[in-house]
Each structure stands twice: as C-alpha cells, then as structure tokens.
Amino acid sequence: MPIYEYRCEQCGFQKDHLQKMSDAVLTVCPSCNSDHYVRQLSAAGFQLKGSGWYATDFKCPAGSGQPGKASAEAPVPACAGNCACHSSS
C-alpha cells in the first residue's frame, strides 16, 4: 500500500497516511477539523537493490565497451570495471 503525505492548508498540520490506491482522498484535517486537508505530491520512496536490475538499465551500447553513450575518447569508466560491461564472465 502506498504512503500518501497530507498537509492542512489552514493550520499547517502535516502527516503521512498509509492508504489503498482505491481509498478516497482524505479531506478533513485531524488536527483542526477543517476541510482544507490536501494530498501532497511527493517522490516515490523505493530503491533498486540487488543484482541484475542494472544489466538492462546501464548496459553498454553495442560495440562501445563503455557504459552510457559511445565516445571517441577512452575515459576511465565510472563503474571501475565492476559492471555488466566489464565483468570477466
């Protein structure tokens, strides 16, 4: 279930609420009981962890041998050789 951040435009009270996506939007402030309680737009709170997810997101372009865009220069890779592009297997 997603966590939604709400803020009261009248008293400034702020709180996070765990709700189903199908739940109705909250409108009444739990602090001052006004109907100015609005859901805020906030960033997603998740991280991609574990092995394998980066192989499709940061894969080397065909023939470049480097992650990201191909370049005429040969800079030291940001991955220090520890990515799917540079692994020995």
DSSP-derived secondary structure for 14-30: EEEEE--TTSPPP-S-T
- pLDDT category of residue 29 using cuts at 50, 70 and 90: very high
Top pLDDT among 2 and 76 is at 2
pLDDT tens readout for residues 30-84 = 999 999 999 998 776 666 666 665 555 555 655 555 555 544 555 656 666 666 6
pTM, full prediction: 0.49
Distance CA 69, CA 10 (A): 49
> Where do we find the tokens 């894969």?
59
Task: Give the mean pLDDT of the chain.
Answer: 75
CA distance 77 to 68: 10
Residue type, 2: P
H-only helix segments in 21-77: 54-57
Return the pLDDT at 11: 96
